[in-house]
Homo-oligomer: A and B are copies of this chain.
Amino acid sequence: MTKYNFFAGPAILPKQVMAKAAESVIEMGDMGLSILEISHRSKEVVEIMENAVSLTKELLGIGDDFEVLFLSGGASSQFYMSAMNMLGENETAGYVDTGAWSTKAIKEANAFGNVQVLSSSSDKNFSYIPKGYDIPSDLKYLHVTSNNTIFGTQFQDFPDSQVPLICDASSDIFSRPLDMSKFGILYAGAQKNLGPAGVTLAIVNKEFLKKQARETPTMLDYNTHVKKASAFNTPPVFPIYVSMLTLEWIKANGGLSGMAQRNAEKAKILYDEIDRNSMFKGTAAAEDRSLMNVCFLPVNEDHTAAFIEKCAEAGCVGVKGHRSVGGFRASIYNAMPKEGVETLVEVMKSFESAHA
Measured CB to CB, the residues of A under 8 A from B are: 1-3, 5, 7-13, 18-19, 21-23, 25-26, 31-34, 36-40, 42, 72-77, 79-80, 84, 104, 107-108, 111, 189, 191, 195-199, 215, 217-220, 232-239, 242, 315, 317-318
Contacts and interface: CB of A to CB of B under 8 A. Distances in A.
A154 to B, nearest CB: 20
Given A7-B42, A73-B233, A80-B219, 10 more contacts: A5-B38, A13-B36, A22-B22, A25-B25, A72-B236, A73-B77, A74-B219, A74-B233, A80-B217, A197-B238
A95 B242 CA distance: 38
B37 A217 contact: no
A115 to B, nearest CB: 14
Contacts of A217: 79-80, 84, 108, 111
The A interface is mostly helix, strand or loop, or mixed, namely loop
Given A7-B38, A80-B220, A196 B237 contact: yes
B11 A18 contact: no
A87 to B, nearest CB: 13
Contact of A11 (B11, B37, B236): B37
Contacts of A191: 234
Copies per assembly: 2
A234 B40 contact: no
B19 A36 contact: no
Contacts of A197: 40, 234-238
Contacts of A218: 76, 79-80, 104, 107-108
A17 to B, nearest CB: 8
Given A74-B72, A217-B84, A232-B76, A5 B22 contact: no
A111 B2 CA distance: 54
A38 B217 CA distance: 33
Contacts of A233: 73-77, 189
Nearest to A81: B217
* Shortest Cβ-Cβ A-B pairs, 6 listed: A198-B236, A3-B32, A80-B217, A76-B233, A22-B25, A72-B72
B80 A37 contact: no
9 contacts: A5-B37, A9-B234, A10-B38, A10-B39, A18-B34, A72-B72, A108-B217, A189-B233, A198-B237
Nearest to A239: B198
A22 to B, nearest CB: 4
A23 B75 CA distance: 29
Given A72-B74, A219-B76, A189 B234 contact: yes
A9 B234 CA distance: 8
Contacts of A220: 80
A32 B73 contact: no
